[in-house]
Structure 1
Amino acid sequence: MNTKQKVKYKKNSKKKMNWITDHLFLFPTILFFLIFILYPILYNIMLSFKKMDVSNFMTGGVWAGLANYQAIFSDPLLYKALLNSFIFTFACIVIEFIIGFALALLFRQKFPGVNFMRGLILVVWMLPSVVVGVLYKWIMAGDSGVLNFVLTQVGLIEENILWVSSEQFALIAVTAANIWHGIPFYMIILLGGLSTLPRDLYEAAKIDGANGWKSFLKITLPLMKPTVLVLLMLGLINSFKVFDLIYVMTGGGPLDATTVIPYYAYKLSFLQFNFGEGGAVSGIMLILVIILAIVYLKLMQKEEAN
């Protein structure tokens, strides 16, 4: 083997070692994806086509075809859960976005204590949803809740409102709790986006006579569009899959007033032990999330093209 062949051999060996090393570093991520993401999705899809309950769980169930989907689509509770999920998700996204944007604009300014206040708000986001649920269940308790006490003292109500245990107000209660928990997430993402905007544009607009409202509409919103699209997509998925907060506060009640799609799937699978129909509901959730992801990708492609 001459010198040129030796050099070529060493280069090929080095490339091969680099390729092996790169893929070895990727192996844990691929393994995690296969075990904890892909396998549960595929198993749930398979489960949705089987008739499985406690009587045949150990044997793997019986193939049922589309029977589970026919059963849940004939169940009125599915449509009530879909409506509750839509109302809950829409209200959370709109209110969290408006308040989060307002707080981001506020904390972008420089004033005494801004860093402390920003950190204090972020503490809310760090709380587990279960803790938030227990806290708001106590705040909104019908007889001894802090909210009813305050509203009574200021004269806004005469009698205590059963926020958590009434069909009329239960969905409002869990929505309010989720909004309070989610506002810091919106604030920090929007604050990060605002920090990247060039201040020269605002100074130029101010010289041209533009007030703060015009600068917001003509500069801030257009430049923040990519950040807003990402945030709304993440917020939509996070709000749509909320389960633990509702489980702690209302348990899907009263009279299924707060039963959303995730809780409906839980109810079928772990309360009624109808794993096949529960898997079918989870399959519908998966389809809805995929549709949302496709819409998001289309919007991002359009934004990049513009």
Structure 2
Amino acid sequence: MTTVTTDTPVKPQPGIPLETQPRRTKGSALRWLFVAPALVYMLAFFGYPLVRNVIMSFQHYTPQTFFTGKAPFNGFDNWTAVFNNPLFTDSLWHTLVFTVGSLLGQFTLGLMLAVFFARRFRLSGFVRAVLLLPWLVPMVVSSVVWRKLLDQDTGVINTLLMNLHLTDHAVPWLSSPSVALLSAILVNIWVGIPFNMVILYGGLQEIPRELYEAASLDGAGPWRTFRSITLPQLRPVVTVVLVLGFMSTIKILDLILALTGGGPADSTQTLGTVTYQLSFQQLDFGQGAVVGNILILVSAIFAVFYLRANRSDFGQGK
């Protein structure tokens, strides 16, 4: 007895060879399999806390909520209270000044050091390693050390300035509302210089030497070479440095808490310290979530606009 088996023919998709279709489906599934752990991690540790923080900003969330589980919605009461708080307006301005001042100082000095070390000389590796120390030391430790150095009465900085006759009185670095924010900016610049120097130095090493040789043959001077070759070639690296520097500076908390505690007279309060104060000192988690959401929103807007403005550096057309 003969059995005839009839197989249903597979209809090929137009324009795609039949033998490549299963392979393409398998490859697509394999790619998603590799991406899945990262997606799960992002959703669990970034997506869920972000959504939870947004919801909390519309709730009356107090320490009692941890025991009762009740956090009634109060609409925009938290947002109204935050925007009507003069401390929030002042902290927004302080955050802007602190971030812009820190980024300008860190990037400028870091770029100068990177260009300096791009010219090899004896002990250059050792000196670069020493300059990395501020970046390796924990932020709180650096802040405590600088608080001792900047002390108005016993600080080494004031003693040195008066011994050199650069000033005839002790400078109130951390005790004057008009100077404290500047002191915090200077300390943060000192902490951030090594990061900028290392990243920019790495970018300088990737610039082809032939470009500098051609510029030298054409008679270009150091400034013209730097402006026409070094800076354009460094644009992708500069983008990364500024974005990462902005993200780390705008939310900074530990440096200011250890250095000034937000004082004197709230002159060094930033969005980060206000979030901490509302949430963990006044225990108003709803208003603390509002400031935290604003901080996240500002960071996201900066990242999106800056990356879109420089998307050509990443191989995309404008």
TM-score, length of structure 2 as denominator length = 0.88
Deviations 1:177-216 (A, max 9, x none): 1100000111111111111111111111111111101101
Query: What corresponds to 2:39 in structure 1?
Result: 30
68, 76, 80: which one aligns with 1:70: 80
Higher mean C-alpha deviation, range 73-82 or range 115-124: 115-124
97, 103, 108: which one aligns with 1:98: 108
Which letter does structure 2 place at the counterpart of 1:39? Answer: Y
Task: Find runs of 4+ consecutive structure 1 residues off by over 4 angstroms.
Answer: 18-27
Corresponding position: 1:148 with 2:158 = yes
Higher mean C-alpha deviation, range 110-119 or range 18-27: 18-27
Compared CA separation, residues 298 and 20, structure 1 to 2 (3 A): closer
In structure 1, the residue corresponding to 2:169 is in which secondary structure? coil
Which letter does structure 2 place at the counterpart of 1:94? Answer: L
Higher mean C-alpha deviation, range 79-88 or range 59-68: 59-68
In structure 1, the residue corresponding to 2:132 is in which secondary structure? helix
Which letter does structure 2 place at the counterpart of 1:47? Answer: M
Q: How does 1:5-84 map to 2 (within 5 A)?
A: 25-58=34-67, 59-84=69-94
Query: What corresponds to 1:233 in structure 2?
Result: 243
Cα distance in 1 for partners of 2:29, 2:224 equals 56
Cα distance in 2 for partners of 1:200, 1:25 equals 40
In structure 2, the residue corresponding to 1:251 is in which secondary structure? coil
Residue 45 of structure 1, CA deviation: 0.5
103, 109, 114: which one aligns with 2:119: 109
More helix, by proportion? 1
Q: How does 1:99-248 map to 2 (within 5 A)?
A: 99-248=109-258
Cα distance in 2 for partners of 1:230, 1:25 equals 26
Identity of aligned residues (%): 36
Cα distance in 1 for partners of 2:93, 2:42 equals 32
Query: What corresponds to 1:305 in structure 2?
Result: 317
Query: What corresponds to 2:12 in structure 1?
Result: none
Cα distance in 1 for partners of 2:227, 2:35 equals 44
Which structure 2 segments of 5+ residues have no match?
Answer: 6-17
Higher mean C-alpha deviation, range 88-97 or range 295-304: 295-304
